[in-house]
Amino acid sequence: MSGPGSDHPTPDRSVLAAEYVLGVLNAAQRREAEARIARDRAFAAEVAAWQAHFAPLADEIEPVEPPMYAWPRLSSALFAKPARSGLWESLRFWRGFAIGAGALAAAAIAAVFVLPRQPPAPTPAAPMVAAINLDDGKPAFLAAIDTERGTMLLLPVTVAIPAERVAELWLIPPNDKPHSLGVVDVAKPMSIAIPIALRGAVGVQAAVAISVEPLGGSPTGQPTGPVIAKGGITSL
């Protein structure tokens, strides 16, 4: 073949196949090679042979565990269910959780569910809840909204966030973009004050979601990391 410095002739079929498998071609050449794989059986066979030849090299590549949220993100993208499905299951879980949870959570839940039903309230607003579910249907957080006080009680259930990242809570009104409700604690219950401007948007048409963000929360005001859990708000 040509010597160093001389013009390089068009490579033969096998060399082109090897170059494609190796990955040295540029984008346009890769598209050409893929088109040829589709129409030229002999070329496709050469590509397959080179794939097999080079396959053992991949043994030398060190495995690296992907982040924990990669699987929920993937399966949620592939298998996402309508927002309201699994609600009954989630509510049962919610009640079970409320009975079994520690004193703080129990007291907080009592405050949300019991106080609004006390007689003096003229028109008690129906309590609203949301199961913020991972894609597999398991709740990451459970939320109870006290519309009169404009607060949301958030209980972490099964949620893991990678190191150096935080979970951020979003309120998504119908036909609107997400509005941040702030960075949330994944380890203990917390009460969140819903900004006055957003209180009107909290309703059974709205959804809440959790995204993974850099420390300090989303720098843009919109989710920048993967959304790992979401759920629709429902009225009890």
Partner 1 sequence: MLRAICRSGGSGAGALRRDERMIDAVDGFSGSGRLREALVGVAAGDRGAFETVYRLTSAKLFGVCLRILTKRSDAEDVLQETYTAIWHKAALYDPERASAIAWLVMIARNKAIDRMRADANDRHAGPIELAADIGDAAGQPAVATEADDERRGLDRCLGELEPRQRGLIRTAFFEGVTYENLAARGGVPLGTVKSWIRRGLIKLKACLER
79 binds partner 1 (CB under 8 A): yes
Rounded Cα distance, 168 and 218, in Å: 8
Cα 124 to Cα 102: distance, rounded to the nearest angstrom: 27
Applying CB under 8 A, among 35, 38, 42, 53 the residue interacting with partner 1 is: 53
Binding status of residue 65 toward partner 1 by CB under 8 A? yes
With H, G, I as helix, E, B as strand and everything else as coil, classify residue 168: strand
Pairwise CA distance, residues 167 & 214, whole Å: 9
Q: Which of 41, 62, 118, 119 binds partner 1 (CB under 8 A)?
A: 62
Would you count residue 215 as binding partner 1 (CB under 8 A)? no
Residue type for 217, please?
A: G
Task: Closer to partner 1 by CB, 39 or 59: give it.
Answer: 59
Shortest spacing between CB 188 and partner 1, in angstroms: 28
Tell me the number of residues near partner 1 by CB under 8 A: 47
Name the residue nearer to partner 1 (CB basis): 67 or 203.
67
Give every CB contact of residue 108 below 8 A, 6+ residues apart in sequence.
153, 189, 191
The answer to the question of residue 66 lying near partner 1 (CB under 8 A) is yes
Residue 125 carries which side chain, given as an amino acid letter? A
Name the token pair of 179: 């509005």
DSSP codes joined into one string, 22-33:
HT-S-HHHHHHH
Is 175 one of the binding residues for partner 1 (CB under 8 A)?
A: no
Structure tokens at 98: 């409320």
If one asks whether residue 23 binds partner 1 (CB under 8 A), the answer comes out as: yes
Q: Which residues bind partner 1 (CB under 8 A)?
A: 1-8, 11, 14-15, 18-19, 22-27, 30, 48, 51-67, 70-71, 73-75, 77-79, 226
